[in-house]
C-alpha cells in the first residue's frame, strides 16, 4: 500500500461513487483528507464534519477558495484530487445551453480554478495533483460530445500542468477510467429505460477482464499517483479499463 502518512489531501466529489472510494483509500494510506462536495451529498456520506468543505463547484468563489480552505483545515496541502464530474448525455442537437454550461463549469473550469489555487500552496514542499478524466476523453465514444470534449480538455490540462510544474516538484497526472459501477453509470441506464442490473451484466461481458471497474479499482491508481511510488510520473494519462477499448 502506498505510504501517505502525514500527507494532507483535498478530494472533490468526495461523496460520489469514485470520490468516496478515493477518500477512503487515501485515508487508509495514512493521509488526512478534506472532502468537498454538494452539501446534500456530504450529509448522506459518513465524513467527519470537521473534514468536509461543502459547496457547489459552479460557484467560482467556492472553487477558487477550496485549496486555501483545505490548508486552513489540515495545516498544508500535498494532494489534490479533482474527481467531481458530471455527464450530460445525448448528441449535440439534444444538448441544451445548460448542459454545455454545467459540463464546462464542473469538468473543466473547476479543475482549472482548483489547480490554479493549489499550485502556489504546494510550491514550497511539492505535491501531487490527480485529475479524474476518462478514456472517452482520449478515444471519443458515440453520443456524448459535451462529456467527451470536457474530459479531453481535462486530459490536456493535465499534460500541460504536468510539464509546467514538474520543476516545482508538483506532479500532475490523470486517471482515465472506462466504465465504473457508480450512480453516474447506473442513472444513464435508468434514463434509457434499461433494467440496470441486466445492463451492468451485459457491460461486464464486454470487458476482457470480465467486469467493469469498481470504484476501488480507480482509487488504488489514484493512491499510487498521489504517492512517492509514482515519483517520476508527470503529465501521464493512465487508462484504467480492464482491457476494454472505447467502442
Ligand atoms: N462512472 C464511470 O463510469 C466513470 C468513467 C470515467 C470517468 N468517470 C469520472 O469519475 C468522476 C467521478 O464519477 P462517479 O462515477 O463517481 O460519479 P458520481 O455521480 O457518483 O459522483 C460525482 C460527484 O461529483 C459531485 N459533483 C458534481 N457536480 C458538482 C458540483 N457542481 N459541485 C460539487 N460537487 C459536484 C457529485 O455531487 C458527486 O458526489 C467524474 O469526474 C466522472 O466523470 C466516471
For the stretch 137-169, pLDDT in tens is 999 999 999 999 999 999 999 999 999 999 999
Whether the pLDDT of residue 46 is over 90: the answer is no
pTM over 0.85: yes
Q: Could you tell me the three cell numbers for 89?
A: 448525455
**Active-site residue, from 23, 47, 129, 147:** 147
Q: How many percent of the chain have pLDDT more than 70? A: 100
Instruction: Look up 232 and say whether it is catalytic.
Output: no
User: Do residues 185 and 95 share a domain?
Assistant: no
Same domain as 83, residue 38: yes
Give distance in angstroms: CA of 106 to centre of ligand 1.
9
Q: Are residues 84 and 100 in the same domain?
A: yes
Query: Do 186 and 99 share a domain, yes or no?
Result: no
Cα(199)–Cα(179) distance, integer angstroms: 12
- Based on the fold, state whether residues 153 and 103 are members of the same structural domain: yes
Q: How many independent structural domains does the chain possess?
A: 2
Based on the domain organization, do 36 and 91 belong to the same domain? yes
User: What is the average pLDDT across 192-204?
Assistant: 95
Regarding whether 30 and 124 lie in a shared domain, the answer is yes
Structural domain including 107 reads 8-178+214-240
The CATH number given to whatever domain includes residue 109 is 3.40.50.720
Q: What is the pLDDT of residues 117-142, one digit of tens each?
A: 999 999 999 999 999 999 999 999 99
Q: Are residues 227 and 184 part of one domain?
A: no
The answer to whether residue 102 scores a pLDDT higher than 90 is: yes
Does one domain contain both 85 and 199? no
Cβ–ligand 1 contact at 184 (below 6 Å): yes
Kindly state whether residues 140 and 194 are assigned to the same domain.
no
CA distance 68 to 3: 24
Are residues 166 and 54 part of one domain? yes
Please say if the pLDDT value at position 225 is more than 90.
Answer: yes
Based on the fold, state whether residues 118 and 225 are members of the same structural domain: yes
Q: Distance from the CA of 81 to the center of ligand 1, in angstroms?
A: 12
Amino acid at each position: 500500500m502506498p505510504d501517505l502518512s502525514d500527507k494532507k489531501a483535498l478530494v472533490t466529489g468526495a461523496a460520489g461513487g469514485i470520490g468516496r472510494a478515493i477518500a477512503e483509500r487515501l485515508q487508509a494510506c495514512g493521509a488526512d483528507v478534506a472532502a468537498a462536495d454538494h452539501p446534500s451529498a456530504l450529509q448522506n456520506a459518513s465524513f467527519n464534519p470537521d473534514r468536509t468543505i461543502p459547496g457547489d463547484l459552479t460557484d467560482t468563489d467556492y472553487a477558487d477558495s477550496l485549496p486555501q480552505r483545505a490548508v486552513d483545515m489540515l495545516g498544508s496541502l500535498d494532494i489534490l484530487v479533482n474527481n467531481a464530474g458530471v455527464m450530460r448525455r445525448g448528441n449535440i442537437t439534444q444538448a441544451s445551453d445548460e448542459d454545455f454550461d454545467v459540463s464546462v463549469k464542473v469538468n473543466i473550469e473547476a479543475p482549472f480554478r482548483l489547480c490554479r489555487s493549489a499550485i502556489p500552496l504546494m510550491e514550497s514542499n511539492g505535491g501531487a495533483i490527480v485529475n479524474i478524466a476518462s478514456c472517452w476523453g482520449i478515444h471519443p465514444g458515440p453520443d456524448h460530445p459535451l462529456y467527451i470534449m470536457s474530459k479531453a480538455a481535462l486530459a490536456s490540462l493535465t499534460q500541460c500542468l504536468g510539464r509546467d510544474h514538474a520543476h516545482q516538484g508538483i506532479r500532475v497526472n490523470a486517471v482515465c477510467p472506462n466504465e465504473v459501477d457508480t450512480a453516474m453509470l447506473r442513472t444513464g441506464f435508468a434514463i434509457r429505460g434499461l433494467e440496470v442490473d441486466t445492463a451492468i451484466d451485459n457491460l461486464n461481458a464486454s470487458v476482457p477482464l470480465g467486469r467493469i471497474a469498481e470504484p476501488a479499482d480507480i482509487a488504488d491508481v489514484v493512491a499510487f499517483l498521489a504517492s512517492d511510488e509514482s515519483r517520476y510520473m508527470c503529465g501521464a494519462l493512465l487508462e484504467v479499463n480492464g482491457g476494454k477499448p472505447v467502442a
